[in-house]
Chains A and B, each alone.
Chain A
Amino acid sequence: MVTRGFFSGRKPPTDTDARIPPGQYLEQGFPVLSAGPTPRVRTDDWSFTLKHGPRPIKKWSWAEFNALPMSKMTRDIHCVTAWTKFDTAWQGVLVDDILADAGIEPPTAFTLALSYDGYTTNVPTKDLTAGKAMVALLYEGKPITADHGGPARLLVPHLYFWKSAKWVNGLQFTERDEPGFWELRGYHIYGDPWREQRYTGDP
């Protein structure tokens, strides 16, 4: 349906158009969204736990986690509120390297990311491995601010950004695909921006 009197003033140039998923627009800033107050987590108190169901597999302190192999990822990110930001530069520990340090292969096909504020989000395990995702510690070379999820946030850039859990403190392997915080509140169980899987009921 064409809207009377609305014209495409913001249509991106064709060379960038291919990088913008359907229904998204290009944002230069970095908006902040979250469901509650921003937790202030000191790195002295920070830890990260890998779990299989309720059972801890391995736990790292901030220093131990920072001693893991560091990788860089520069990716476009897509927020379900319709902004897309190009070329965000992150540095952190690939989920592959976390698993390697724990000495395990992924035990189940599904994972729940856990955060300090009680936030959770579910991601199929195969979307976290093979270099697809990391626990990011730096954004554009600097520690991630609390607003943006620091000290550490999950980065799963090929899915809508609510999957990239802020203030992450663990990954839990689950037997089934367990909906997380927003997935229980109307958001899509998988969240592929290129298939525009924003809300429950999207294909």
Chain B
Amino acid sequence: MILHFLKNIFKKNQYPSPLGKVAMGLFFFLISLGLSKCTQAQTASQIINKVNINFSKVNDYTADMNIHLDVSFIKMKDIAAKVFFKKPNKFKVKAEGIMLLPKQNPNNIQAMLKDTNSYNTIKTGTDIISGVTATIITVIPNADTSDLILGKFWIDANKGLILKSHLTTRSNGNMEIEHFYGSNSNYALPDKLIFTIETSKFKLPKALVVDLDSSSAPDATKSETKTGKIIIVFSNYLLNKGVDDKIFK
């Protein structure tokens, strides 16, 4: 009906009359309002599904990883590693030496979100993450026994990308993950992840480690719980080229 009305206006005049201009403006305003309403109207489940669809395009991948630890009680150089993934949930990180990784691997979140029957979702607002409007979705697992108590995800609803996650788990307390995307954003594969984890104060008895060189006097000014950061940078993604099952053994 609207189109018919517009056709009539344009038929009568080669150039739109003031009335036509107003009508056109109104038309595009309504269209854009409708589109934005349509975006907002996406339910939490629909947004999660969008994330799942993005990642479902990935059958397997390999990538180079650089792990940087910024934890007060750990002194180590950056670790170069290689990561392997294969559907549905095979995940392996290989490095030459000792490697410390966050308890949550990047694919844990995707695997958890994939099983849409195992949790309930609530849309709890919006936020701006790196200039992008993100919809905040809170995920509550159905099972009491699940390790995840509460998950909060900041999702770019248009692209179906998780920009930030905040996980409260039984085993590891709170963990925040910031996701940064590059050329593989269509597959929801990040270029960089920043894990912010809770670390309890590290203390070992002097006699146990035969440490004659340090003072073990307790520092009352320091809190017992601190946070640490693990920064993982991914590069050289090889997507859907096939990964041998032997790698995961």
Do the two shown chains form a genuine complex with each other?
Answer: no
Which residues of B pack against A, CB within 8 Å?
Answer: none
